[in-house]
């Protein structure tokens, strides 16, 4: 059975940079508060009219070019996002249309910040069993149009950013390399601690002025609960991945954790006992880009030469659901 290797990565963020000082002009917040609590200095927000699938298309074009492939060489799309362009169909088919390919499957993954790791798990299974050979795995988000950029929404408005990261995955016969395992978890008892209640068909009517006025169509978050669970569940899932393969913390060349908040990443690093050179963070420049954060960070880490063939890469994510998980990859 082959293993799954990363053939190429790509990323794209919209050109508009929004600094903490820019936000301080819109709401009662400060650069100091945001930096101290989240580590974020700036994020990219789309201009009105830009869609999540169009960000993904830009990132895909970069990855295809790096892989030396055409869009028609892809035989499957797995699209992870928490910010779909439409209620349905999902973003996968819109991306497919933009890429000018037809007939290949497009799977939409709705696991929010953990979406890229969930998507990797599915893509890896398909590649290993031989069903598909060139899988485009996407994590893309435009959170900014859904944020409340006033003081009422400041707890979430300062955190989230827009962007897309992709990976083209395929089989390798090198038994020493590739995705070693993925580890997925969820706990629906915590669903309302980080969620967007509406629009939703559990509501009658399914969308209403009342829902919009009461912030039910925006991200609602119990920040401290999210923080506590994230710093517990991500390290646990990393340890589970290592244990399965008889590996230790010392074997990790690079850990890329979902860029939720720099303080969360620092706590995860501390709990696992990782040195600074074993982790990569870029939330300072992008904010929390939900499902896009891991592939954007992976792309940048590769650009900086942080991974060489044979290195052990660990991914870990946590998000709404709650969902969380990890992946162990021999680069
Ligand atoms: C959101 C988060 C930074 C808030 O930090 P916190 O220390 O928990 O702060 P609290 O929510 O207790 O709020 C403390 C005060 O700061 C205020 N505050 C909230 N957002 C603010 C902002 N952007 N600027 C200034 N003040 C703010 C609150 O209103 C509160 O004021 P009060 O004491 O007068 O009521 C923190 O909880 C967090 O990082 N949680 C995880 C979020 C996350 O990662 N989400 C994505 C997961 S995938």
pLDDT tens for 275-323 read 999 999 999 999 999 999 999 999 999 999 999 999 999 999 999 999 9
Q: What per-residue confidence (pLDDT) applies to 266?
A: 98
Q: Is 129 a catalytic residue?
A: no
- Nearest atom (ligand 1) to Cα of 260: 44
Q: Report yes or no: 38 and 261 within 8 Å, Cβ to Cβ.
A: yes
Q: How far is the centre of ligand 1, averaged over its atoms, from the C-alpha of 139 (Å)?
A: 26
> For 239-255, what is the mean pLDDT?
98
Q: What share of the chain in percent tops pLDDT 90? A: 99
- 155 in contact with ligand 1, CB cutoff 6 A: yes
- 33 in contact with ligand 1, CB cutoff 6 A: yes
Q: In 199-331, which residue ranges form alpha helices assigned H by DSSP?
A: 209-213, 223-244, 262-272, 283-286, 293-303
Indicate the pLDDT class of residue 125, thresholds 50, 70 and 90.
Answer: very high
Residues 174 and 157: their CA atoms lie apart, in Å, by 45
Q: What is the pLDDT of residues 31-80, one digit of tens each?
A: 999 999 999 999 999 999 999 999 999 999 999 999 999 999 999 999 99
> For 236-253, what is the mean pLDDT?
98
Total-model pTM: 0.97
- 282 in contact with ligand 1, CB cutoff 6 A: no
Indicate the pLDDT class of residue 166, thresholds 50, 70 and 90.
Answer: very high
Q: What per-residue confidence (pLDDT) applies to 319?
A: 97
Q: What per-residue confidence (pLDDT) applies to 135?
A: 98
Q: How far is the centre of ligand 1, averaged over its atoms, from the C-alpha of 165 (Å)?
A: 27
Q: How far is the centre of ligand 1, averaged over its atoms, from the C-alpha of 223 (Å)?
A: 6
Q: Is 288 a catalytic residue?
A: yes
Indicate the pLDDT class of residue 179, thresholds 50, 70 and 90.
Answer: very high
Q: Report yes or no: 180 and 245 within 8 Å, Cβ to Cβ.
A: yes
Q: What per-residue confidence (pLDDT) applies to 236?
A: 98
Indicate the pLDDT class of residue 224, thresholds 50, 70 and 90.
Answer: very high
Q: What per-residue confidence (pLDDT) applies to 7?
A: 98
- Nearest atom (ligand 1) to Cα of 112: 48
Q: How far is the centre of ligand 1, averaged over its atoms, from the C-alpha of 214 (Å)?
A: 19
In whole numbers, what is the pLDDT of the chain averaged over residues? Answer: 97
Q: What per-residue confidence (pLDDT) applies to 223?
A: 94
Q: Is 76 a catalytic residue?
A: no
Indicate the pLDDT class of residue 190, thresholds 50, 70 and 90.
Answer: very high
* Best residue among 150, 155, 259, 320 to mutate for probing ligand 1, ranked by most atoms within 8 Å of CB: 155
For residue 27, give the nearest of 150, 153, 147, 174 by alpha carbon.
150
Q: How far is the centre of ligand 1, averaged over its atoms, from the C-alpha of 42 (Å)?
A: 17
- 223 in contact with ligand 1, CB cutoff 6 A: yes
- 76 Cβ neighbours under 8 A, 6+ residues apart: 104, 105, 106, 107, 123, 126, 132, 134, 135, 136
Q: What per-residue confidence (pLDDT) applies to 44?
A: 98
The two beta strands, 312-319 and 323-330, are: antiparallel
- 227 in contact with ligand 1, CB cutoff 6 A: yes
């Amino acid at each position: 059975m082959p293993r799954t290797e990363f053939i190429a990565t790509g990323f794209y963020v919209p050109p508009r940079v929004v600094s903490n000082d820019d936000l301080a002009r819109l709401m009662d917040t400060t650069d100091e508060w945001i930096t101290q609590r989240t580590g974020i200095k700036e994020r990219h927000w789309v201009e009105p009219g830009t869609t999540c699938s169009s960000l993904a298309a830009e990132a895909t074009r970069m990855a295809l070019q790096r892989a030396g492939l055409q869009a028609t060489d892809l035989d499957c799309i797995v699209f992870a996002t928490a910010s779909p362009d439409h209620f349905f169909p999902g973003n996968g088919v819109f991306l497919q249309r933009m890429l000018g390919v037809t007939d290949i499957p497009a799977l939409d993954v709705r696991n929010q910040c953990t979406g890229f790791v969930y998507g990797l798990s599915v893509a890896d299974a398909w590649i290993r069993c031989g069903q598909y050979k060139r899988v485009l795995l996407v994590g893309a988000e435009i959170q900014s149009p859904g944020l409340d950029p006033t003081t009422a929404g400041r707890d979430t408005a300062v955190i989230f950013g827009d962007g897309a990261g992709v990976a083209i995955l395929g089989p390798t016969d090198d038994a020493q390399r590739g995705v070693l395992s993925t580890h997925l978890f969820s706990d629906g008892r915590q669903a309302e601690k980080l969620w967007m209640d509406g629009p939703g068909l559990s509501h009658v009517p399914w969308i209403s002025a009342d829902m919009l006025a009461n912030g039910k169509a925006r991200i609602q978050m119990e920040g401290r609960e999210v923080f506590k669970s994230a710093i517990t569940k991500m390290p646990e899932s990393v340890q589970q991945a290592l244990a399965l393969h008889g590996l230790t913390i010392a074997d990790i060349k690079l850990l890329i954790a979902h860029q939720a908040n720099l303080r969360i990443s620092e706590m995860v690093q501390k709990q696992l006992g990782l040195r600074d050179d074993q982790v990569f963070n870029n939330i300072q420049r992008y904010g929390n880009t939900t499902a896009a954060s891991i592939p954007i960070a992976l792309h940048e880490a590769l650009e900086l030469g942080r991974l060489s063939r044979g290195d052990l890469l660990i991914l870990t994510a946590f998000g709404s659901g709650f969902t969380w998980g990890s992946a162990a990859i021999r680069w």
